[in-house]
Amino acid sequence: MRGVFVDICFKPVKAVRYGGRRLSLKTIKHDSTDENFRRDAANLIDSARKEVLVIVGDIRAYGFPDLKWAVERARKKGVSVRIYAANPPQHVVNGLLAKGIEVYKGPLMKDHFLIVDSKSFIHSKPHQPVAGQRTREVYMNKPVAARKVVNRFEKLVEKSKPLTKVDWKQDPLWKALQKPLDWKVDTHSSRLDEEFA
């Protein structure tokens, strides 16, 4: 199927202009858990051969296992992953840096992008902070339009701060180990009566 894409319900989608060129695109349907978006994003990441670039706000989507696993699969294949974020939580940055992913911090961008191999991308438009409400469009095999987004990413990275320090003291597990919850139950094995049948 060349030049025309269908959405999840197999309806033809509109052709729009992006940067002066007419493009066919696929609009990702809204759903309360962002499952449609996550499926399309994971598939796009899985298709990467060289590079994945991401422009986001706080990297919240990385908390979903399907997207995290897609990024990990990409890294195992040797794909370079670079992320520009406005407010990345340190515990997420720790995990990304530990996997060899470059993270940059800078001002908040209204539009978010996921770009793969400088030829395909997802454009996520601004919305209220409610899951499933962001409008997203997938552009497949559109290298001219994708290159414009890559240039935007490169300009943002030039003016941003690279995050290179892993701070495990901000990790939730480390914090929990420092101040374990007291469940008011004696769990020390020397004081437990056990019976074996």
Q: Is residue 61 part of a domain?
A: yes
> Which pTM was predicted?
0.73
Whether residue 110 is contained in a domain is answered as yes
pLDDT band at 181 (very low <50, low <70, confident <90, very high): confident
In a domain, 153, yes or no: yes
C-alpha–C-alpha distance, residues 72 and 46, integer Å: 10
CATH number, residue 101: 3.30.870.10
- Full residue range of the structural domain in which residue 161 is found: 15-179
Quote the CA–CA distance of 80 and 82 in Å, as a whole number.
Answer: 7
The pair phi, psi for residue 99, each rounded to 5°, is: -95, 5
Q: Determine, yes or no, domain membership for 33.
A: yes
Determine how many CB atoms are found less than 10 A away from the CB of residue 58: 15
List Cβ neighbours of 138 (8 Å cut-off, separation of 6 or more): 5, 25, 26, 27, 28, 40, 44, 120, 121, 122
Domain count, the chain: 1
pLDDT tens column, 58-74 = 888 888 899 999 999 99
Chain segment 74-117, per-residue pLDDT in tens: 999 999 999 999 989 888 999 899 999 999 999 999 899 999 99
